[in-house]
């Protein structure tokens, strides 16, 4: 938990320092315009990358494969969007790096060693496989025999 506390302290301080330095170099209004421009450009790139990732995920599912990489990339793209919409140069840099497919692939490779994705076993012809012995089923039931549902008899 201390890592998140440090991030909440370090990242804003870093952003403030970068704002001061960039503002000193190019002025206040160009700095504000640059922050807005990077956010707009980043959101446009995010939309393009998100649609491409969605199409790849659909293709993998149609082939009967689990789109694990695409799901993790979707999470990374959502994080990239949050970083791009957060005002600042450091967060924009992190967001833009996550928009680059090679960076996402490298991060997925690093995370892939730690994350195990479980899902239904797929059959390429018929979708999910048929249940086998030892499978667990979850469900609900309701008793419908006449003795339990006959409310016309007085209770004794």
Domain range list for the chain? 2-114
How many DSSP H helices and E strands does the chain contain? Answer: 6, 2
Which pLDDT tens digit goes with each residue over 88-108?
999 999 999 998 889 888 888
User: What span, in angstroms and rounded, lies between the C-alpha atoms of 55 and 78?
Assistant: 16
Band (pLDDT 50/70/90 cuts) for residue 141 is: low
Which pLDDT tens digit goes with each residue over 29-71?
999 999 999 989 988 988 888 888 889 999 999 998 888 888 8
| The predicted structure's pLDDT at residue 155 | 55
| The predicted structure's pLDDT at residue 151 | 54
| The predicted structure's pLDDT at residue 29 | 95
Distance set, CA 30 to CA 19, 21, 23, 24, 45 (Å): 11, 13, 8, 10, 22
pTM: 0.65
Band (pLDDT 50/70/90 cuts) for residue 72 is: confident
| The predicted structure's pLDDT at residue 22 | 94
- CA atoms in the 13 A half-sphere facing the CB of 113: 4
User: What span, in angstroms and rounded, lies between the C-alpha atoms of 101 and 76?
Assistant: 10
HEC per residue, 40-58: HHHHHHHHHHHHHHHHHHH
> What average pLDDT does the structure give for the chain?
80
């Amino acid at each position: 938990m201390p890592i998140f506390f440090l991030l909440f302290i370090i990242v804003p301080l870093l952003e403030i320092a970068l704002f001061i330095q960039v503002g000193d170099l190019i002025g206040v209004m160009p700095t504000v315009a640059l922050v807005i421009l990077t956010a707009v450009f980043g959101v446009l790139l995010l939309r393009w990358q998100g649609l491409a990732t969605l199409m790849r995920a659909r293709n993998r599912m149609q082939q009967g494969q689990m789109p694990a990489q695409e799901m993790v990339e979707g999470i990374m793209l959502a994080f990239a969007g949050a970083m791009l919409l957060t005002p600042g140069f450091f967060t924009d840099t992190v967001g833009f790096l996550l928009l680059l497919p090679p960076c996402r692939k490298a991060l997925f490779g690093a995370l892939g060693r730690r994350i195990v994705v479980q899902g239904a076993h797929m059959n390429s012809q018929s979708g999910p496989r048929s249940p086998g012995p030892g499978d667990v089923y979850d469900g609900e039931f309701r008793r419908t025999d006449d003795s339990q549902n006959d409310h016309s008899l007085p209770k004794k």
